[in-house]
């Protein structure tokens, strides 16, 4: 997809956040703090690392103004944000239909707004991930409790055999993290997905359409990489602790979009210092201001 074709990004930040009630009764889950930054900074940073600069933020209508207040147009970071409203949580795959006008025939990478990806060489890995011309690509991650996730079964050559949604008897321990790279046929395929018993258009059914075309590829995340779903209180707290330990020990920040934009050459030294000054006297603002020096 990457060569000669602009890949656009989608961050799915809607939903009710019911697994985090009462924390999310009056604010979107993706605006909650995860150690030193809002949750949505983490998936946005993942897209930045992949070189994605044209991004749609899918939110509830009620919360859209809060996201705009936090993120703006994206120009401060050298990117472009488009805001798309999702009136009710109709499923992950429906985001491709909602964003069809934004995509305008482009391939895309969709990431869930409560997912964190960390690992050495993540940016280069994601760049390779985008480097194909058609079909869909997903990540796979080995977990102890596959029944809590969408599960994928593969053969010895990583050919996808089956996809299951939270199976009682999983056929593997390979979970599907919330990051999906798809071609321009995604909106049309998403339209064909019928709602499940819980009333949502399941991402597993959407991916199955690519699998039936023999056009679904998988890349298994390596040991040492981390994927975290911050959708419940235990994992939200664990992720904050994880970020805290690494940042305090190394003196650098994880998923800092301003720093990624600066290191990517999207903003200047002066702009980064300006952004740091806006956040003074916080430690986050001081960190940004110290980078160019």
Bridge-based pairing of strands 150-154 and 160-165 is antiparallel
Q: At residue 112, does pLDDT exceed 70?
A: yes
Cβ neighbours, 10 Å, residue 214: 10
What is d(CA 180, CA 171) in angstroms, rounded to the nearest whole number? Answer: 21
Q: What is the pLDDT of residues 242-253, one digit of tens each?
A: 999 999 999 999
The residues, ordered by sequence, that sit 6+ positions from 66 with a Cβ below 8 Å of its Cβ are 27, 28, 31
* Least confident window among 31-40, 62-71, 75-84, 149-158: 149-158
* Average pLDDT rounded to a whole number, residues 143-161: 91
The reported pTM is 0.94
Q: At residue 184, does pLDDT exceed 50?
A: yes
What is d(CA 60, CA 285) in angstroms, rounded to the nearest whole number? Answer: 29
* Average pLDDT rounded to a whole number, residues 35-56: 96
Average pLDDT over all residues of the chain? 92
Domains of the chain, with CATH numbers? Answer: 8-255 (3.90.550.10)
Q: Look-up: residue for tokens 């697994």? A: 19
What is d(CA 96, CA 43) in angstroms, rounded to the nearest whole number? Answer: 17
Helix (H, G, I), strand (E, B) or coil at 99: coil
What is d(CA 111, CA 176) in angstroms, rounded to the nearest whole number? Answer: 12
- Omega before 22 within 30 of 0, i.e. cis: yes
State the Cα angle at 130 between 125 and 136, rounded to 5°.
115
Helix (H, G, I), strand (E, B) or coil at 63: coil
State the Cα angle at 245 between 243 and 249, rounded to 5°.
120
Looking at residue 133, its pLDDT comes to 65
Helix (H, G, I), strand (E, B) or coil at 69: helix
Helix (H, G, I), strand (E, B) or coil at 135: coil
* Average pLDDT rounded to a whole number, residues 146-165: 91
Tell me the pLDDT band of 132, cut-offs 50, 70 and 90: low
Using left for φ > 0, alpha for ψ between -120 and 50, and beta otherwise, residue 148 falls in: alpha
Greater pLDDT, 26 or 131:
26
Helix 41-49 × helix 122-129 angle, to 10°: 70
* Average pLDDT rounded to a whole number, residues 10-20: 92
Query: Is-contact 113 13, C-beta < 8 A?
Result: yes
Residue 259 burial (C-beta neighbours within 10 Å; 0-12, 13-18, 19+): buried
């Amino acid at each position: 997809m990457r060569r000669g074709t602009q890949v656009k990004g989608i961050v799915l930040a809607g939903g009710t956040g019911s697994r985090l009630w009462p924390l999310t009764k009056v604010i979107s889950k993706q605006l909650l703090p995860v150690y030193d930054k809002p949750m949505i900074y983490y998936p946005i940073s993942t897209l930045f690392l992949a070189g994605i600069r044209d991004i749609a933020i899918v939110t509830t209508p009620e919360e859209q103004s809060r996201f705009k207040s936090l993120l703006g147009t994206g120009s401060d970071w050298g990117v472009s944000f488009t805001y798309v409203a999702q009136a009710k949580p109709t499923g992950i795959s429906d985001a491709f239909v909602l964003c069809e006008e934004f995509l305008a025939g482009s391939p895309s990478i969709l990431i869930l707004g409560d997912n964190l990806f960390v690992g050495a060489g993540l940016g280069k890995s994601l760049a390779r991930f985008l480097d194909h011309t058609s079909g869909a690509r997903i990540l796979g991650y080995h977990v102890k409790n596959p029944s809590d996730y969408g599960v994928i079964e593969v053969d010895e050559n990583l050919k996808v055999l089956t996809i299951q949604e939270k199976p009682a008897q999983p056929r593997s321990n390979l979970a599907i993290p919330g990051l999906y790279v798809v071609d321009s046929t995604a909106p049309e395929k998403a339209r064909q997905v019928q709602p499940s018993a819980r009333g949502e258009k399941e991402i597993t059914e959407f991916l199955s359409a690519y699998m039936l075309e023999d056009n679904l590829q998988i890349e298994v995340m390596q040991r040492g990489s981390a994927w975290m779903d911050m959708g419940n209180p235990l994992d939200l707290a664990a992720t904050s602790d994880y970020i805290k330990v690494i940042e305090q020990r190394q003196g650098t920040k994880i998923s800092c979009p301003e720093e990624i934009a600066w290191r990517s050459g999207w903003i200047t030294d002066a702009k980064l210092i300006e952004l740091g000054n806006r956040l003074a006297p916080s430690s986050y603002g001081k960190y940004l201001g110290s980078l160019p020096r």
